[in-house]
Amino acid sequence: MASNLVRLYRAAADVQLCHPAAAPSGGMYVADEVLDSSGAFSSLIRLSSSGSVTWGKEIDLSGEGGFDVLPRIASNTTHVAVSFEYGADAIVLYDASGTKIWHTSLPLSHESSTSTPPWTVSHIALASDNSVFVVGSVTATGPGDAVLSKLNAATGAVTWSVNLRPTGWSASGYYPGAVAVMSGGDVVVVVRSAGVAAYVMRLSGTDG
């Protein structure tokens, strides 16, 4: 049975989707998608353990690609990261007080510093050192290849990226699923191969 029930309500707007993550002192973060008469925007809210609002941040996504905005969220004991899918082209890292540390625009490149293949953010994970791991789809190298990227904790720049389709395998399409950081720093990723099966991969968090 729930110990607290929180209703997220906005006047003259429609809260479409929420994703939660743990916050310090028994609280929680909530990333939500909101539609109103002017378009779509997303917000990040920190709630206390009793359900009261500690702080909230809004990102206006009007004109950024429509209404299909799906926020993803990941947290550790000191920070929280939010990604905005399709219309947002953004990953943002905040500290627990709501101060923005950095913002990274997508699409990300995994081929070289100059290439810019299309990128769709799927899931994100936040390591204990505040590095952000992002797994998403990229179509420039094949039909739906899945790519894992590590973002620098201080700047959000891409530290490294790896294509999750094994060398020599048919480019039948590899689609990203969930990603998680293990206690030792390695990364676990779920990848689905089109029409075949789902695979669980463990990669080094240091270099992929």
* CA 102 to chain CA mean position, Å: 14
* 3-class state of residue 10 by DSSP: coil
Per-residue pLDDT at 77: 93
Q: What is the pLDDT of residues 35-81, one digit of tens each?
A: 666 655 677 889 898 888 898 887 654 444 443 456 788 999 999 99
pTM strictly above 0.95: no
3-class DSSP state for residue 172? Answer: coil
List Cβ neighbours of 98 (8 Å cut-off, separation of 6 or more): 44, 46, 54, 55, 56, 57
With cut-offs at 50, 70 and 90, classify the pLDDT of residue 90.
confident
- The string of DSSP letters for 72-116 reads EEEE-SSEEEEEEETTT-EEEEEETTS-EEEEEES---SS-SS--
Tens-digit pLDDT profile for residues 130-144: 999 988 776 555 555
